[in-house]
Chain A
């Protein structure tokens, strides 16, 4: 290990695919896993003479996201062309917002468990530099055996929100937590479905290390991380790689790297050698994007033709942080419980349904939800929606426990039976397995006596001390 400490610096650029019916500048559909080149309009294929037409829904999605991330929304933003040649970029340029993006200067609060203890949650903030609207590229598949590249333009032109964070993060854990919270926010807003496995959320991580008090080190960019698991590992690996390199007297190249998930390491990307000059130029076919608020909206303007920031703000749903606070307040559960509830798709709903159908206090219900239900689902890789035990079944069981028909040990046995999904009700299982709590004094005495009678030697030993 080193003599002087190292300060890792991590800045993320996150590309979130906008949840819209059609693409950012054309009317072709947005759909995952469609047959290759079946969702390509003339504009997407860059046919000469075609022009971009801005999709209103994409603008609204970006405004929603900007507001949710506490950004200033720029009432006037501009579109630019970013030029480079690549097979999946038909026009030879991407339309993006480089000069004046739609939203700037926001923040994202996220939580971490200190030392992996859920009970020690810490809230942190990462600054959001900007959010910009831009086109997604198509996909190219390299077929090395036949020395050819296959190009699928279905994704070309799909709307993206690029969320650029300031380099306030320090490690893989923070990166993953921040991205997770962003993902939840986007899903709550509906502005992006943000499913990483479907490429709807992709993360580029800029990583550097330096000694405290010294200037920032040279950074590398780890591109296109498309899974939460890989994100933390990729960032941490890169930090470690840089530290080792520097401690061995080497230097860090300002390069682009990819994460090889099989090998668990980052590798330089062949195609991105050398510095690229993107020759940015204003997009001449799109006028400046003008947004309005209640004050600036002209009286005679057709409100179908404009995007009103205040109107969108009024209709924002409760963000995850607000939802969590409400859950804690309403049900008396712990903050870390609320995190877990929101983290699992459908779990909050399930919890609330159970609470509504049982006399058991929410504070007690939560234990069954988080420990018994969730761990089983995780073990069997099931989603909440796929749970063989419905909320009413669980509620029935908890009622039996609450009304002291069974003990908690018995309840766990019943639960184990319910997982089989045989269709039996909790009560039926209790009766079948004779798990009822015995309240009758006489009956209890008989049982105790029977036990003692069968263990005479042990009893004598105990009496003698």
Chain B
């Protein structure tokens, strides 16, 4: 017996065909173009994949639960034959010759790749506003829920109303899932880049344990912290996608060798044996009273259901942001050294010398955010600075990881924290501060999990006073995704987060689209 899925069931039972589903998604992508969630829409190849899936279903031989299911992939994953830009001038027009392992796995399962989603340039940012293809808009900006609650600055009917950011850096993927143009999307998570936009866009965002899913083909930001992230509309869906992606990859030497067994999530009814930790340091400066109240309410929910809920301490939390910046910029400086315009990508026009060619290429190819991080990273890696910055940061990183270990060893199963400090802010407000400042503020609740390599998930919890999504985060033990997702699923069931009421979705209200609208495909 396999996994039971709503849309998968519909596909299997012939109530909808993969090509119908694909065409419907493509049409919705077109009509929601103003969200700017997609950089590349691979219409031709997607339809071809859908047709092949059609045939398999007709023969009664689908490849699995993902066969024929439309998905989107963040544009920092390599996709053979399809442009991979990382939202940067450096890679505009770059057609990758190979598929990232996670992309290949999805395609091998019969998933239909609709396109590549928008992001902050090279995944550096927390708003999906700093890419060369322009910012991504949070679909909830156009929801009835938000419009009802928001006070319009000026009377505006069209799309130019003050829209809010989707979070970042995987904002395009989160927006794509949130607006129902696909059933699942891949993001990446280095400091919160999957969970943050998931919280702002009201979708499930899973950051798996470091080493569980292959990074081969993911353009790296910080090799020692990056993980592929999974964005879906339900926790069950996330578990399904995880099952198709996890496992050792010989091409990625940082993946663990242990055999991974995909799992179905049990329907947890009894949480009395659970111990939930509430880390007091996550009551961070700037945390909105609204989210604080929601966090408290969630803790009570567990308590009332019989779980043990205790306050815990992760004392080195406050050092993690500055530590992260040192390690992140150092790795960025190193990882970006390959972009010289010689083998691929943008090449400057200077011909005087190799050095001037490199300088022109990199000045033209990278935005200020990337260049700023490269400069900072090179500074930290200088011989005279290495001990004081890089090594020191690694030591502090070890302390942060130990904080989590201690807490988990003391009997706590999971940690419950907010994901973001507030709901999504309007774009003009967001860009008042620079990228670095925003990242510092926005990553604070998410990036310690990356430092420690732990799995974490954002579960959409409730709408804010402004009618925008707010999510809460669960952080689990290494490689205990099953427990993490089981509890997350229970929580999801309790909170009953509302469906987005998007005008575009309403217009396409017919049988096929019911499947899209539904919270999940599993």
Contacts and interface: CB of A to CB of B under 8 A. Distances in A.
B32 interface: no
A47 B86 CA distance: 13
Contacts of A465: none
B382 A277 contact: yes
B215 interface: yes
B220 interface: yes
Interface of A: 42, 45-54, 81, 83, 85-87, 90-93, 147, 149, 151, 153, 277, 279-281, 284-287
Contacts of B100: 49
Nearest to A45: B343
Given A49-B220, A51-B216, A52-B253, A87 B98 contact: no
B397 to A, nearest CB: 12
Contacts of A286: 253
A51 B215 contact: yes
6 contacts: A47-B96, A47-B343, A49-B100, A87-B342, A279-B381, A286-B253
Contacts of B381: 83, 279-281
B343 A83 contact: no
B343 A90 contact: yes
Contact of A48 (B78, B222, B378): B78
Contacts of A284: 222-224, 254, 331
Given A42-B98, A45-B344, A49-B100, A281 B334 contact: yes
B325 to A, nearest CB: 15
B254 A47 contact: no
Nearest to A37: B343
B166 to A, nearest CB: 24
Nearest to A54: B253
A85 B340 contact: yes
Nearest to B378: A279
Interface stretch (B351-359, B365-373, B423-431): B351-359
A277 B333 CA distance: 14
Contacts of A153: 343
Interface residues of B, number: 45
Nearest to B357: A87
Contact of A42 (B97, B224, B252, B253): B97
Contact of B250 (A46, A53, A93, A147): A53
Interface in B192-216: 215-216
B91 A48 contact: yes
B338 A90 contact: yes
A46 B383 CA distance: 25
Interface string B371-392: 0000000100111001000100
A51 B251 contact: yes
A53 B253 contact: yes
Contacts of A52: 253
A287 B338 contact: no
A91 B219 contact: no
A247 B86 CA distance: 60
B268 to A, nearest CB: 35
Of residues B223, B336, B382, which shows the largest number of chain A Cβ atoms within 10 Å of its Cβ? Answer: B223
B330 interface: yes
Q: Which applies to chain B's interface (DSSP): helix, strand, loop or mixed?
A: loop
B218 interface: yes
A229 B255 CA distance: 48
Given A45-B343, A277-B382, A279-B381, 17 more contacts: A42-B98, A45-B344, A47-B98, A47-B344, A48-B338, A51-B216, A51-B254, A53-B253, A85-B337, A85-B355, A86-B354, A90-B342, A91-B338, A281-B330, A281-B334, A285-B223, A285-B252
Contacts of A42: 97-98
Nearest to B215: A51
A147 B98 CA distance: 34
Contact of A46 (B91, B97, B338): B338
B451 to A, nearest CB: 13
Contacts of A93: 334, 337
A91 B251 CA distance: 18
Contacts of B378: 279
Given A49-B216, A284-B331, A277 B383 contact: yes
A153 B343 CA distance: 10
Nearest to A275: B383
B191 interface: no
B217 interface: yes
A356 to B, nearest CB: 49
Nearest to A305: B257
A158 to B, nearest CB: 17
A51 B335 CA distance: 11
Contacts of B252: 51, 285
Contacts of B218: 49
Contacts of A46: 338, 343
B136 to A, nearest CB: 22
Q: Which of A83, A147, A279, A286 has the most C-beta atoms of chain B within 10 angstroms of its own C-beta?
A: A279
A47 B383 contact: no
B202 to A, nearest CB: 30
Given A54-B253, A281-B330, A49 B217 contact: yes
A51 B220 CA distance: 10
Contacts of A83: 334, 337, 381
